[in-house]
Amino acid sequence: MRILLINGPNLNLLGTREPHIYGSDTLADLEAMWRRHGTTFGIGIDTYQSNHEGAIIDEIQAAGPRHDGIVINAGAFTHYSYAIHDALRAIDVPVVEVHISDIHEREEWRKVSVISPIAERVIVGRGTQGYLDAINLLIARSLFPPSSLHYGPDPDQVIDLRIPDDPRALVNLIHGGFWRTKWARDTMDPIAAALAGAGYATANIEYRRGPASFDASNSDVAGAVEAASRHLVEQGHADLPAVAVGHSAGGYLAIRLAEEHPEMSVVALSPVINLEAISAARPDDDPVAAYLGNDIAAAPDLWDRAAPSGRNATRVTIVHGSMDSDVPADHSLAFHDSHPGSTLVTLVGADHMHLIDPHHAAFATLTAAIEGEPPLDS
């Protein structure tokens, strides 16, 4: 597999151009990192940068026969170059659009992308990590291509399904990201492909996120799980056991799901489970207040309703890394202590993202938890 990363105008100035927005890494630094990442996964990475529209079009046209995927940050061409749009559309190669900053939160003209309509996914606002996420997405899609199922009219009410010939269970995957729109289901694509390769049907769930999305996100997850199970039955896979696997904020949603559906087994990976503590730790950018649409002083009843009760925690397994700096492991320990029907697995040395890395030892712990086997501590 070979992937081409294309960068457009002014991205040759990375490292010196507005580092508070674009970071301090130079383009050469990033290109070396992308190649190392490709070597780790046994794929080839090619890179190209130009300030000239025609040169980028020529590179895209040449990429068709030589590459299995394109990651493109077209810079300012993103917002008006239908010529680049047409070039990408003309070749039979999956495309992921990437932007270092969140273009939807900047000037009005940056909010328009003429490339997005032909992109498999659009990744914005994750800094330079977005390029690696795009590479991982393309790898996952090559290993086990998904099909999409819409479970509602909103563009975010969609599931990516990967169904092996004789699935052993249905695993519903719920991504994290503090319920912010810049984090999406692509973060779960590598684990979805790996689980599908191991014989599990996977439903990688997208759901509505953003400010005041508490009710919408919970409703969406429940609707998506029902839609995925119904689809599997329609495809002739009746009576499959179903498991919900949520990471971070998705772990919170998975535990909430268990409260209403006690028959559902849940695996919560580093769940955002103590809303007040997370809020207090991030006063300048409070993800919980944004998610609920009010801070705790203004809406105490809403915060009480949003806090996971764990009243049906008898089929809940929590996996947390001891080195998690995003969601402290003691949050999960406190929940387990007050809900002894739950199971807690602590992975020594694992951080927040290791738990959704199929190449990390955490993957064996995840599959054991899905199967309901004894915990695999490390």
Contacts for 187 with CB less than 8 Å, ≥ 6 apart: 133, 175, 176, 177, 247, 356
Residue whose pair of structure tokens reads 């990363």 in the numeric block: 5
Catalytic machinery residues: 22, 99
49-93 pLDDT, tens digit per residue, is 999 999 999 999 999 889 999 999 999 999 999 999 999 999 999
pLDDT at 376 over 80: no
What local confidence, expressed as pLDDT, does residue 14 receive? 87
pLDDT at 377 over 70: no
225-239 pLDDT, tens digit per residue, is 999 999 999 999 988
| Band of pLDDT at residue 378, cut at 50, 70 and 90 | very low
Domain positions in the chain are 2-138, 145-371
Asked if 177 and 248 count as a contact pair (C-beta separation under 8 A), the reply is yes
Domain 2-138 matches domain 145-371 at the CATH topology level = yes
Neighbour count for residue 215 (Cβ, 10 Å): 14
What CATH code is assigned to 2-138? 3.40.50.9100
What local confidence, expressed as pLDDT, does residue 105 receive? 84
What local confidence, expressed as pLDDT, does residue 18 receive? 78
What local confidence, expressed as pLDDT, does residue 195 receive? 98
- 188 burial via Cβ count (<10 Å: 0-12, 13-18, 19+): buried
Q: What are phi and psi of 333, to 5 degrees?
A: -65, -45
249-280 pLDDT, tens digit per residue, is 999 999 999 988 888 899 999 999 999 999 99
Question: 145-371: which CATH architecture?
Answer: 3-Layer(aba) Sandwich (3.40)
CA gap 212, 370 in Å, rounded: 31
Sheet strand arrangement including 44-49: 44-49, 2-7, 69-73, 95-99, 121-124
What local confidence, expressed as pLDDT, does residue 157 receive? 98
Q: What is the mean pLDDT of the chain?
A: 94
Vertex 265: Cα angle to 264 and 268 (nearest 5): 120
| Band of pLDDT at residue 210, cut at 50, 70 and 90 | very high
14-42 pLDDT, tens digit per residue, is 888 778 777 788 999 999 999 999 999 99
Percent above pLDDT 70 for the chain: 99
Neighbour count for residue 280 (Cβ, 10 Å): 12
127-165 pLDDT, tens digit per residue, is 999 999 999 999 999 999 999 999 999 999 999 999 999
